[in-house]
Chain A
Amino acid sequence: MMTIAVPETAVRAGLWQRLAFANKTDLVTRVLVVAITIALLFYILLPVYWMLKSSFQPNQEIRVLPPIWFPTEPTAQPYTNANRLIPMWRYVLNSLFVSVTAAGISTIIACSAAYVLARFRFPGATIILGLILLTNLIPAITRVFPIYFFIQDLGLLNSYAGLILAYVGFSLPFAVLMLRGYFESAAPPELEEAALIDGCGYFEAFWRVILPVCLPGIAAVAIFTFLNAWNDFLWASLLLNQGEMKTIQVGIGDFAQEGGGVQYVNAFMAACVVATVPALVVFVFVQRWLVGGLTAGSVKT
């Protein structure tokens, strides 16, 4: 019996093998690529890292020059301090509540609207699409006054409902357009027709076939609206700026104005970390939905 030995390196070339070079120009290019990538990463991540490590350091250690890059005695004290200076955890909960609710509501509405726009031809469909597109073209800042007064007239200033209403309104146009495209490409009409013939009604076909197939797109839209709401400062500071109901972004703004950024640097950084982490966690959790690929094989492409 004969066996054929396959060298390990040939089977699976590691990073260094792939960086092993055929000639000098190749070497220079590769070194440049790596160097630029590292520089970019450094540029992007340094502030984030600075925030993170400062949130675990005593104030004196942060101000030292040359900087201390790793906390000598990591402490969670800044987080407790931050929560003493502003009701930080309460603000985070407010933000979570407002963002999750807004994302949920706008995703549900966007799904229904986008599905109808993707599937059915009816008089006025083009006009509706045009109007939706148009709302995206109006600069947000020009809407400040009308929407402020609108929410005021509804009696919803300084309420969760007012802010949620505003967020849903802002995110819907983009969400509808994006989902409509997704429904059109990921869920061809035959899929629904097959379901109708197999014994579904229209709603059942949507629920059992179209929705599962389009989950990646729907998740992407939900995350997008969640992040928009979570990161928003402008509308939250206008519509919900009193008492304990503020969102964390507005809370951080207050904190900074009251000198937190100078006096309590570590606590301020702790608050910033708290304002960043949920968005990161959400993204990591659902990113597998964003990768897509679930639709492959349903129909021949």
Chain B
Amino acid sequence: MASIEIRQARKAYGTLEVLHGVSIDIPDGEFVILVGPSGCGKSTLLRMIAGLESISSGEIAIGNLVVNDLPPKKRDIAMVFQSYALYPHMTVAENMGFSLKLARRSKAEIDQKVSEAADILGLQPLLARKPAQLSGGQRQRVAMGRAIVRDPAVFLFDEPLSNLDAQLRVQMRSEIKALHQRLKTTTVYVTHDQVEAMTMADRIVVMNDGNVEQVGPPLELFDRPANLFVARFIGSPSMNMLDGRIESIDGVTTFVSGGFTLPIRSTSAVKPGQEIVLGFRPEHLSLATSGSTAQLNAEVVVVEPTGTETLLNVTAAGHAFLALFRERLDLAPGDQITLSLDPANVHLFDKVTGKRF
């Protein structure tokens, strides 16, 4: 068990800096997910924690011990790789017990720990097999077994589910979460899949271009994205965006974009004349009734029913939007509908800086 402190960590390859001074504090026992598009530096950061990449400047401490110059084996960590990286010449049991064998533990102790881990992961019947004889999901489990056998201070996961099919991914997602709830080991998990991040994490770190964009619990990121990047990245289907400006109409601060107007709640810090990006989630659009404000005339382009929800692609005021409904709608492409938007559920971002107001 250990906390992780990352202080101003930088990574540069020659003159190319890929990580620009990242600082993250991870308390003992927390499940933190690093998420971002490919090339954002999340895997590099994870590998720096693991000791597989050097740290150009800054510090990384595990359990209050600065590990910058420690080799991976001295950091008391375990890692699950995207490709599983099982040792093909060893059986499942040997794979899982390898680290203990290197640590010169007794055979009895190794057998016992491997057996315990195998019980947790349902691997008992497979212990004598070689990795080549396992399915993708089973290999994934062995890779996790190899990690938990050691009882390390920190678990590191590098996109562990991206080689699995969709159904298995959902299943393993909850298994990993359950495993964390049971073992309560500090975990850093890297993924590019924001759904994985939302469903599993205690806290999410959204990264982009070698910078941390926002850190927070999943629902906070969802409800109050700090900037346009986070707003676009978190949530599926993703947030609708509309460019416009703030005007004062009859003394009311109003967002105006073409023919569309939306009164803004007075608590907001925006001032008339400001260029704004208005964000609103597809599920916050509703079919207008006679009394609703902020009406938007739209034409249905595509209807995507999933059974539990209906997703509409619509065009309104020359822009394409997504609208998500909990109910089934009897609509067809080409239908004209009127949507309304609740002013309480909009996000305002500065068009220049992308920052949230």
Assess whether A297 is in contact with B83, with CB atoms less than 8 Å apart. no
Q: How far is the CB of B142 from chain A (nearest CB, A)?
A: 10
Question: In the bound complex, what is the Cα–Cα distance between A300 and B81 (angstroms)?
Answer: 11
Assess whether A198 is in contact with B98, with CB atoms less than 8 Å apart. yes
For residue B136, CB closer than 8 A to chain A, the reply is yes
Q: Pick the most buried of A194, A201, A294: most chain B CB atoms within 10 A of its CB.
A: A194
Question: In the bound complex, what is the Cα–Cα distance between A293 and B150 (angstroms)?
Answer: 30
Q: Which of B84-143 contact A (CB under 8 A)?
A: 84-89, 98-99, 102-103, 130-134, 136, 139
Identity of the chain A residue whose Cβ is nearest the Cβ of B77 in the assembled complex? A197
**Chain B residues within an 8 Å CB radius of A296:** 88, 132
Question: In the bound complex, what is the Cα–Cα distance between A191 and B86 (angstroms)?
Answer: 7
**Chain A residues within an 8 Å CB radius of B86:** 194, 297-299
For residue A290, CB closer than 8 A to chain B, the reply is no
A212-B89 contact, Cβ under 8 Å, with A297-B133, A300-B136 = yes
**Chain A residues within an 8 Å CB radius of B146:** 194, 198
For residue B298, CB closer than 8 A to chain A, the reply is no
Question: In the bound complex, what is the Cα–Cα distance between A37 and B351 (angstroms)?
Answer: 76
**Chain A residues within an 8 Å CB radius of B77:** 197
Assess whether A300 is in contact with B73, with CB atoms less than 8 Å apart. no
Question: In the bound complex, what is the Cα–Cα distance between A188 and B88 (angstroms)?
Answer: 12
**Chain A residues within an 8 Å CB radius of B98:** 195, 198
Assess whether A194 is in contact with B79, with CB atoms less than 8 Å apart. yes
Q: How far is the CB of A203 from chain B (nearest CB, A)?
A: 12
Assess whether B81 is in contact with A193, with CB atoms less than 8 Å apart. yes
Q: How far is the CB of B254 from chain A (nearest CB, A)?
A: 54
For residue A209, CB closer than 8 A to chain B, the reply is yes
Assess whether A188 is in contact with B85, with CB atoms less than 8 Å apart. yes
For residue B52, CB closer than 8 A to chain A, the reply is yes
**Chain A residues within an 8 Å CB radius of B131:** 297-298
**Chain A residues within an 8 Å CB radius of B133:** 297
For residue B216, CB closer than 8 A to chain A, the reply is no
Identity of the chain A residue whose Cβ is nearest the Cβ of B134 in the assembled complex? A297
Q: Which of A175-210 contact B (CB under 8 A)?
A: 188, 190-191, 193-201, 204, 209
Question: In the bound complex, what is the Cα–Cα distance between A297 and B134 (angstroms)?
Answer: 8
Question: In the bound complex, what is the Cα–Cα distance between A182 and B169 (angstroms)?
Answer: 32
Assess whether A198 is in contact with B88, with CB atoms less than 8 Å apart. no
Q: How far is the CB of A195 from chain B (nearest CB, A)?
A: 8
Q: How far is the CB of A235 from chain B (nearest CB, A)?
A: 37
Question: In the bound complex, what is the Cα–Cα distance between A195 and B95 (angstroms)?
Answer: 10
Identity of the chain A residue whose Cβ is nearest the Cβ of B82 in the assembled complex? A190
**Chain B residues within an 8 Å CB radius of A193:** 50, 52, 72, 79, 81, 85
For residue B78, CB closer than 8 A to chain A, the reply is yes
For residue A218, CB closer than 8 A to chain B, the reply is no
Assess whether A298 is in contact with B103, with CB atoms less than 8 Å apart. no
Q: Pick the most buried of A196, A198, A200, A212: most chain B CB atoms within 10 A of its CB.
A: A198
A199-B73 contact, Cβ under 8 Å, with A297-B130, A297-B134, A300-B136 = yes
**Chain B residues within an 8 Å CB radius of A198:** 73, 98-99, 102, 146, 150
Identity of the chain A residue whose Cβ is nearest the Cβ of B83 in the assembled complex? A299
Assess whether B88 is in contact with A298, with CB atoms less than 8 Å apart. yes
Q: How far is the CB of B56 from chain A (nearest CB, A)?
A: 16
A271-295 contact mask (Cβ, 8 Å, vs B): 1 or 0: 0000000000000000000000111
For residue B305, CB closer than 8 A to chain A, the reply is no
Question: In the bound complex, what is the Cα–Cα distance between A174 and B84 (angstroms)?
Answer: 32
Q: How far is the CB of A289 from chain B (nearest CB, A)?
A: 12
**Chain A residues within an 8 Å CB radius of B72:** 193, 196-197
**Chain B residues within an 8 Å CB radius of A300:** 83-84, 136, 139, 163
Assess whether B99 is in contact with A199, with CB atoms less than 8 Å apart. yes
A194-B85 contact, Cβ under 8 Å, with A200-B102, A204-B102 = yes
Q: How far is the CB of B4 from chain A (nearest CB, A)?
A: 16
Question: In the bound complex, what is the Cα–Cα distance between A293 and B132 (angstroms)?
Answer: 9
Question: In the bound complex, what is the Cα–Cα distance between A190 and B98 (angstroms)?
Answer: 16
**Chain B residues within an 8 Å CB radius of A195:** 87, 98
Q: Pick the most buried of A195, A294, A295, A297: most chain B CB atoms within 10 A of its CB.
A: A297
Identity of the chain A residue whose Cβ is nearest the Cβ of B132 in the assembled complex? A297
Question: In the bound complex, what is the Cα–Cα distance between A233 and B88 (angstroms)?
Answer: 41
A38-69 contact mask (Cβ, 8 Å, vs B): 1 or 0: 00000000000000000000000000000000
A197's contact among B50, B89, B163, by CB below 8 Å, is which?
B50
Could you list 13 examples of A-B contacts with CB < 8 Å?
A190-B85, A196-B52, A196-B73, A197-B50, A198-B73, A200-B73, A209-B87, A293-B132, A294-B89, A297-B133, A298-B84, A298-B85, A298-B131
New A-B pairs, 8, CB < 8 Å, besides A197-B79, A213-B88: A193-B72, A194-B87, A196-B51, A198-B146, A297-B133, A300-B136, A300-B139, A300-B163
